Amino acid sequence: MSEQLSNVQLVTNLYEAYGRGDLDAIRSYLAPDVVMTQSEQLPWGGRYLGPDGFFEFLGKLNGYLDARLEVDDVFDAGDTIVEIGYTVGTVRASGARFRARESHLITLREQRIVRFQVLVDVPAMLAALAA
């Protein structure tokens, strides 16, 4: 990433890379000390450290869900970018469909993601998993 991107554009590029399954591009946006978190009430939730931890989270998530993001909005809140939308897809074990509200709080430092917090409608996700 030689060009200086806005933080919103950087996060938008990250989502595009995720949609393509471009793991190298995703890794290029992560700081060595990135912290990834999601509610521990979900089977893939917890606190994950570093790029390897980030990919461990994605691996666990993808083991349970075939999901994609529907992004409604991405905005700059200073050193944090906020994404608001839905996670949509199916539960791999049952084929149950889901659509749950979600938000990401993404903190950047020097064009790298240092904190990625996923907030999702936990009751909706647990209901989908139980279906």
What per-residue confidence (pLDDT) applies to 1? 47
* Domain extent listing, the chain: 7-130
Q: Is the pLDDT of residue 8 over 60?
A: yes
Q: What percent of the chain has a predicted confidence (pLDDT) above 70?
A: 98
CA dihedral 55, 60, 64, 70 (to 10 degrees): -30
Predicted pLDDT at 44: 97
| Reported pTM | 0.93
CATH assignment of 7-130, among 1.10.260.40, 3.40.50.300, 3.10.450.50, 3.90.79.10: 3.10.450.50
Question: What pLDDT digit, counting tens, does each position of 91-127 carry?
Answer: 999 999 999 999 999 999 999 999 999 999 999 999 9
Would you tell me how many other CB atoms lie within 10 Å of the CB of residue 50?
15
pLDDT of residue 104: 98
